[in-house]
Structure 1
Amino acid sequence: MDTRYIRHARTHARGAIQPVAIAVLVVIAVLAAAAWFLIIKPHQDLMQADNGGHPSTPVAAGHEAAAPPANVEAMSLNQLLSEARRAMNEQRLLAPSGNNAFEFYLKVLQKQPGNQVATDALRETFPFAATAAEQAINQRDFNDAQRQIDLLAKADPANYTLTILRSKLDAGRKLADREQQLAADKEKQAQLAAQKAAADKVEADRQAELKAQQAAAEQQRLAQQRQAQQQQAAESARQQQQATTAAATPAAETGGTHAAVLVKNTAPRYPTAAMRANQEGWVELSFTITPGGDVSDVKVLDAQPRHVFDRAAIDAVSRWKYQPATQDGAPVASIKRQRIEFKL
């Protein structure tokens, strides 16, 4: 075959294809431009109002949060979307109440159910808002956390994250209640301990004062008792001295017989144990008066109570001195019985 014919056929075929390809490219470009200007561009303009960007993407706020709108009910959809976008930019996802992105988007859906921009924004922003609600729980702002969870429930009532947040909120409230109760119990215990310490101190002071009064009264009683015993002994000695003098004079004059006469007596020492027990009693003794006037062979004949005052009575009588009995003018030994009284 002639090669010139083949080259000509190929050239003719390429020339026929090129116009078709160009036409297809032109149609695609026209459709793309139409789609941009008629669909994509208006949608992006709507979402990028007030600083641009996707409505569901939180960005760092560069200024303080704006004041809440005066009349949200009267705002149009575009105004609500614009406020929502501004709240997103300023990180006001769920707070403050009445001026946050979720409430604006929910208001858009009230006015226009199924609004795609609001629906997409709520869905895509839900995880960020859930994190904000969790932070409110961690900060123990339980009332506001409950409000934020309620807003999330309006946006996506079936989302499992709500169950987790509600569990955390309930656990946080219970923990706070327990801590508050523990603090109250601790404060009450501290108050009771302080009251008991004060009462114990008052009682201890009262007991100390009572013991001091009792000790002073006991000392005064012992002093009075010693004084009374001394006075009694002195009086007894005086009387016995008088009796001895009276009895000795006739005997000396007549040189006859007479009984032994007490010249010197010693008051018995009151036993300490009996004094503390407020015991009284007596001891009846029998003893011998020697020709020299001394006392010997002292014996207890009877006592009441027994073995309480015996030793004190014996010790006292053993120190007594007598003018011995005489017979025909000569001193002789004699036996005498004597009851010693012990009284307080």
Structure 2
Amino acid sequence: MDTRNTLHARRYARGAIRPVAIAIVGVIGLIAAGAWLLIFKPHEDMALSDSGGHPSTPVTAGKTAAPTPANVGAMSLNELLSEARKAMNDQRMLAPAGNNAFEFYLKVLEKQPGNQVAADALRETFPFGANSAEQAINQRDFNEAQRQIDLLAKADPANYTLTILRSKLDAQRKLQDREQQQATDKERQQQLAAQKAASDKIEADRLAAEQQKTALAAEQQKAAQARAAQQQAESARQQAMAQQSATAPTGGSAAGGAGTHGPVLVKGGQPRYPTAAMRSAQEGWVEVSFTISPDGSVANVKVVDAQPRHVFDRAAMDAVSHWKYEPATQGGTPVASERQQRIEFKLN
């Protein structure tokens, strides 16, 4: 008995709930239909009436945006609502400037502040307009974004979404300014680096030119010193030859074996050619001065000049040290004398 009562109560409850749910769905449908009739249907009908169509004929979506109408300020309410509806159909919520739904609805409210159709349309389409403004911000079209935000503010100045959009627009502008400043700083750094590189190259070229000039001057000075030394050696040689000629014995004194005469070489000899010079095929000469003792031996051998220096000096001194002379005489008495001789080193 209790079981039958319970099942009956459950069936009764389900039967009572079903009509309530159906009633709720119906109310929601009526509200949606009413909103469509109040907001969009009047504009669709007027747009179709203006174009010669029947209000029941559906409007084709995705039509090409119409050109900006002329003399918008002189339009009637119906004309403005019709243009607004066309803009809605073309998805021209906030753009282009002067030919969008928001501006047409705002013109309607200027002419008739209490127009419920325009006010409802602006309220319902506000989120779509905010989305359009946000896209303009993301695309960094800041002037267009500011225009759209200002347009949204005319429709609903107290909407908190405007605060968010303005904050985002300000942040994006600052970000762009920072990026531009960073790009400017980077470009400036690159320019400074290029200028420094060019300056360093100029300085390096200048130093290289100075070094080359210094090296050339040193070579010229060395060559001048070599010429002066050679001239000095030649002058000394000529002076020695003149002195030798002046002290040479005359024919009469030599024949008599008495009187005054200069030294006469009795035993000479070629110097030893240095091995290192021979291997490198070097040639040169050495100018030596020496003393001929009264007994005809050679002493005090010194190098006066040489070319090249320190290559043949030792060989020349060794050779001259072993020479033997008939000493110079003065009044028939052997005396010491000084002499200077150039020793040539040439390869056969």
TM-score if structure 1 supplies the norm length?
0.61
Correspondence for 1:190:
190
Correspondence for 1:341:
none
AA aligned opposite 2:183: A
CA contact (8 A) 1:92 1:101 kept: yes
CA contact (8 A) 2:63 2:89 kept: no
Aligned Cα root-mean-square deviation (Å): 4.1
1:221–1:111 Cα change, 3 Å:
same
- The 1-side partners of 2:86 and 2:108 are apart by 15
Structure 1: gaps of 5 or more residues:
1-39, 53-58, 262-286, 299-310, 337-344
- What displacement does 1:288 show? 7.2
Residues 42-81 of structure 1: per-residue CA shift (max 9 Å, x gap): 88752333269xxxxxx99522211122112111212111
CA contact (8 A) 1:60 1:91 kept: no
Residues 231-261 of structure 1: per-residue CA shift (max 9 Å, x gap): 1101101101221332243796885789999
Q: 1:10-25, aligned counterparts within 5 Å?
A: none
- The 2-side partners of 1:44 and 1:211 are apart by 90
Structure 2: gaps of 5 or more residues:
1-35, 50-58, 265-289, 303-309, 340-348
Correspondence for 1:129:
129
- The 1-side partners of 2:42 and 2:192 are apart by 68
1:317–1:95 Cα change, 3 Å:
same
Whether 2:199 is the aligned partner of 1:199: answer yes
Q: Alignment partner for residue 46 of structure 1, among 29, 34, 42?
A: 42
AA aligned opposite 2:152: L
Residues 175-195 of structure 1: per-residue CA shift (max 9 Å, x gap): 222222222222233333333
AA aligned opposite 2:195: Q
Correspondence for 2:143:
143
Whether 2:88 is the aligned partner of 1:88: answer yes
Correspondence for 2:27:
none
- What displacement does 1:198 show? 2.9
1:295–1:129 Cα change, 3 Å:
farther
- The 2-side partners of 1:185 and 1:160 are apart by 38
- The 1-side partners of 2:159 and 2:79 are apart by 28
AA aligned opposite 2:155: A
CA contact (8 A) 1:295 1:317 kept: no
CA contact (8 A) 2:109 2:115 kept: yes
Correspondence for 2:239:
239
Correspondence for 1:4:
none
Correspondence for 1:249:
249
1:45–1:133 Cα change, 3 Å:
closer
- The 1-side partners of 2:337 and 2:244 are apart by 16
Identity across aligned pairs (percent)? 62
Correspondence for 1:165:
165
AA aligned opposite 1:206: R
Aligned length: 256
CA contact (8 A) 2:260 2:331 kept: yes
- The 2-side partners of 1:75 and 1:241 are apart by 131
CA contact (8 A) 1:130 1:161 kept: yes
